[in-house]
Structure 1
Amino acid sequence: MNDFLTPRHIARRTSAAVDAAVGAGRELGLTVTDATVLYELFSVVVHLAPSPVVARIPTVLPPSADLGSQARRQQAELDVTRWLADQGTPVIAPSPLVPREPVQRDGFSMTFWPFVEEDRDKEPDYMANSESVADLHAAMRAYPGRLSFLSAAEPRFITESLAVLEERADLIGPADLDHARREWQVLEPLVRSRTAFEAAFPGIDLQPIHGDSPPANIFSGVEGDLYADFELVTLGPVEWDLAALGPDLESAYNRGARRNGMRPLNEDVLGFVNTVGMLRAIASLTLVPQLPQLMEYLKPAVDQWRTMSFADGMTG
């Protein structure tokens, strides 16, 4: 099956996203004469220069991600980051120059953020970042808004992707796919149901969490580090934010947790979230045709998943 997008097709998609962001920005009253793409992978991030505003436009999405579902997720991110900023948490908050709500144009749904100058000379310190995530969790505990349970796991995406992969032997072999489907049969009930999760892991508190590996999503600004990219913000166990990072970074988080008077990471829950995270990686193989370079990121995760015990030893 040869449905992989070519660099030319991807460039067209990026150009369309930039045009949509420029048009939306101008309609909102921004002066935009020199739009510059800052980053692109799953989203196109564009500086609407000379305005100090950045638009983020998701472009690589599962078929079920319609404009309505995108907007709901984006509104949650805008609400959480604005609240955190109001509490004094160092976070990239929504731009104050436009309404704090998603904007839809030309088939895209986008959000707007302040332009923050990056300290390009600073190397990420994932040990320090992981310890800092405990500070973020402490700040998020009091968030008063409503969040869905483990929506960051994207259970519908996993289920639908495993079905699609039955016809994509070019992306995953039948033995691996059978393994993934059997694991998901065990774990899906605990992802979809808060009640089932709490029965499986009694005493594990749930709270608002970042949802997307926050140690890797701390932005090094010239004026200091900022928590960023809350696109998958959700209600869940804190372990979700440390999934697949390994013992050293888990220990760093635990130092931060002790400093904040919070519980350390639970090994059983870590096993659960690590396996669910791997199944999300398997599901993400269905996005490779939209973003062929994604395969180089997913292959190491798939290779690691093959070495893990079945569903981390859970028997359902």
Structure 2
Amino acid sequence: MTTFLTPQQLADRTSAAVGAAVAAGRRLGLTVTDPTVLHDVFSVVVHLAPSPVVARIPTVLPRPDDLVALARRQQDELDVTRWLAGQGVPVIAPSPLVPHKPVQRDGFSMTFWPFVAEDRDKEADYVANAESVADLHAAMRGYPGRLEFLSTAEPRFIEESLALLDRHPALIGAAELDRARREWQTLEPLVRSRSAFEARFPGVDLQPVHGDSPPANIFHGVDGDLYADFELVTLGPVEWDLAALGPEHESAYNRGARRNGTRSLDKEVMGFVNAVTMLRVVATLTLVPQLPELMEYLRPAVDHWRTMPFANGLDD
């Protein structure tokens, strides 16, 4: 039987995250008298007003107690965005008012960012955004830090979720779960091993990539657009950042790549990243009890996955 958090439990989690962020901010020397929640889905994002600082506190996680692993990923995000800002890339970089380190408090791990006023009248143009991702990739190629290969695919999360989902028949049927497990047997070696990936896709270069659909993570600030939310930054093929967006967005990216003198998207690699992304969607069903509203967003994607070829043809 699947047990979902109640509205009161969700509100209590948000309140606890805000309280932890306020206490941590004050300990760092910030004046916080009017904390305001800006966003609350996978993370609670709170403006520590009147300080011009925003805290982001992940709350919906595969392993909520593994703060060490979470902090390691958060440090990658802080390092990459700080470096990009230093290169003149329009990006939301870490707040200069606090140390550029994740802070742990009351069972949460959080990062701190500048408060940026949003242009709420500007509508997102995801096709134009997809073209601009080629600019971001061109800038990220020079990042000197070390990143793990395809950590954004979260292979441990996929593996553990597929092992657990038979306990949640309300979330996915037995036939679909069997298919997902068999697909993972095909895809897992290419996700876990850089050498296996390179052998399967010779000539496809790897580089730092955003990791979490950057066309959907461009923040419309009143002073211009900014790349944001590098929580899943990783080393991988550029195709990963266009996963599941479709041909129109892929064509837009290719226009940007030609303008930058970089390579276009590889069709076979796009098939691979789309297949892995669909399994991440299936795995994310295990997070629905933590965030019941997720189901309405995941269901259409799972329905689409059912219509796709097995492993998106990668088993051929």
Q: TM-score, normalised by structure 2?
A: 0.99
How far apart, in 1, do the equivalents of 2:206 and 2:36 lie? 40
How far apart, in 2, do the equivalents of 1:95 and 1:269 lie? 36
* 1:191 match: 191
Structure 1 residue 168 displacement after superposition: 1.1
How far apart, in 2, do the equivalents of 1:315 and 1:290 lie? 34
Structure 1 residue 3 displacement after superposition: 1.3
* 1:153 match: 153
Q: What is the identity percentage for the equivalent residue pairs of Structure 1 and Structure 2?
A: 78
Mapping for residues 1-316 of structure 1, pairs under 5 Å? 1-63=1-63, 66-315=66-315
How far apart, in 1, do the equivalents of 2:283 and 2:69 lie? 19
How far apart, in 2, do the equivalents of 1:313 and 1:70 lie? 33
Structure 1 residue 166 displacement after superposition: 1.6
What whole-Å deviation, never above 9, does each CA across 1:142-187 have from its counterpart, x for those lacking one?
A: 0000000000000000000000102111110000000000000000
Structure 1 residue 63 displacement after superposition: 2.4
Contact preservation (8 Å) 2:2, 2:170: no
Tell me: CA distance 1:195–1:64, structure 2 relative to 1, closer, same or farther (3 Å): farther
How far apart, in 1, do the equivalents of 2:90 and 2:297 lie? 29
How far apart, in 2, do the equivalents of 1:314 and 1:245 lie? 19
Contact preservation (8 Å) 2:137, 2:209: yes
Q: Secondary structure at the match of 1:288?
A: helix
Where does structure 2 lack aligned partners over 5 or more consecutive residues? none
Structure 1 residue 65 displacement after superposition: 5.8
Aligned AA (2:99) = P
Aligned AA (1:283) = A
Aligned AA (2:248) = D
Aligned AA (2:92) = I
> Which contiguous aligned blocks of 4+ residues in structure 1 show a shift greater than 3 angstroms?
none
Q: TM-score, normalised by structure 1?
A: 0.99
Q: RMSD in angstroms over aligned alpha carbons?
A: 0.8
How far apart, in 1, do the equivalents of 2:64 and 2:217 lie? 25
Q: Secondary structure at the match of 1:120?
A: coil
Aligned AA (1:180) = A
Aligned AA (2:89) = T
Aligned AA (1:71) = A
